[in-house]
Structure 1
Amino acid sequence: MSDIETITISEDGFACVNQVGDFEFTVDATDESGPNPNAALVATYASCFLPAFRVGGQQRGHDDLGKIQIDADADMDDDDDLESISFAVHVAADLDDDEFDEITARAEDICHVHAALREELEADIDVYGDAF
């Protein structure tokens, strides 16, 4: 048995309904009934990186980073393939750049999506403290 099992179904057109455990969501290549696969990947990457960032903070002695928001941007090439991803990480805690660099490096080691992507597609990450 696999560690992760999903079911993806498309009755017609380009929308796919995905079943992951008890959860269901739609991904649509035409952006009509859900985000397109590239947008879903970028959102999934940010959704993995954010808790990894929080754990990285805890492991570096910063248990309360407060609210964290990631604004993700991605560029695509002429073939509609992802070319680059950038994260602007906004953190309520006011830490110095060295502390944020340590937390970011640890988060990169923890984030499973970060590890799964080819190196040239890994997010460029900027962190902004005292953001809220």
Structure 2
Amino acid sequence: MSDIETSTVSEEGFASTSQVGDFELTIDATGEEGPDPNQVLVADYASCFLPAFRVGANKTGHEDLGKVQIDADADIDDDDDLEAIRFSVHVEEDVDDDDLEEIVSRAEDICHVHSALREGLHAEIEAHGDAF
């Protein structure tokens, strides 16, 4: 038995519906009925990196970062493939640059999506303390 099982169905066209546990997600290659696969991947990456960032912060003595927001943007090449992803991490807590660097490094080691992506596609990450 697998650790993760999903079922993805497309009745017609380029939209598909994925069943992930109790959740349903519509993804559309054309972006008409839902986000396209590249958008979902970037959002998934950020959604994995954010809790990893919090865990990394806990391990460096920053137990309450307050609000954390990741603004992600990505570049697509002529073949519609992702070629670059960038994260801008905004942290409510006033955290100095050295600690932010250490937190980012720890988060990169913790985030499963970061580990799964080919090295050339890992997000370029900048983090901002006292951002709100």
Short-chain TM bin: over 0.9
Q: Counterpart in 1 of 2:86?
A: 86
Number of residue-to-residue matches in the alignment: 132
Give RMSD over aligned pairs.
Answer: 0.4
Which runs of 4 or more aligned residues in structure 1 lie more than 4 Å from their structure 2 counterparts after TM superposition? none
Shift of 1:66: 0.5
Structure 2 letter corresponding to 1:6: T
* TM-score (normalizing by structure 1): 0.99
Offset of 1:27 from its aligned partner? 0.5
Once residues 92 and 9 of structure 2 are traced to their aligned partners in structure 1, the CA distance between those partners, rounded to angstroms, is 40
Residue 71 of structure 2: aligned partner: 71
SS of corresponding position for 2:27 = strand
Q: Give CA-to-partner distance per residue, 1:104-124, whole Å, 9 cap, x none.
A: 000000000000000110000
Partner AA of 1:109 in structure 2: D
The alpha carbon displacement at 1:9 in A equals 0.4
Q: Secondary structure at the match of 1:50?
A: helix
Distance 1:82 1:106 in 2: 24
Gapped regions of structure 1 (runs ≥ 5)? none
> For 1:80 and 1:5, how far apart are their aligned partners in 2?
27
Residue 100 of structure 1 and its aligned partner are, at CA, apart by 0.2
Q: Within 5 A, what are the aligned runs for 1:1-132?
A: 1-132=1-132
Amino acid at match of 2:116: A
Letter in 2 for 1:100: L
Shift of 1:75: 0.1
- 2:72 partner amino acid: A
CA deviations 1:56-88 (Å, max 9, x no partner) are: 001111100010000000001110100000000
- The two structures have a TM-score, normalised by structure 2, of 0.99
Q: CA deviation at 1:28?
A: 0.4
What letter is aligned with 1:36?
A: D
Task: Specify every segment of 5 or more residues in structure 2 that has no aligned partner in the other structure, as ranges.
Answer: none
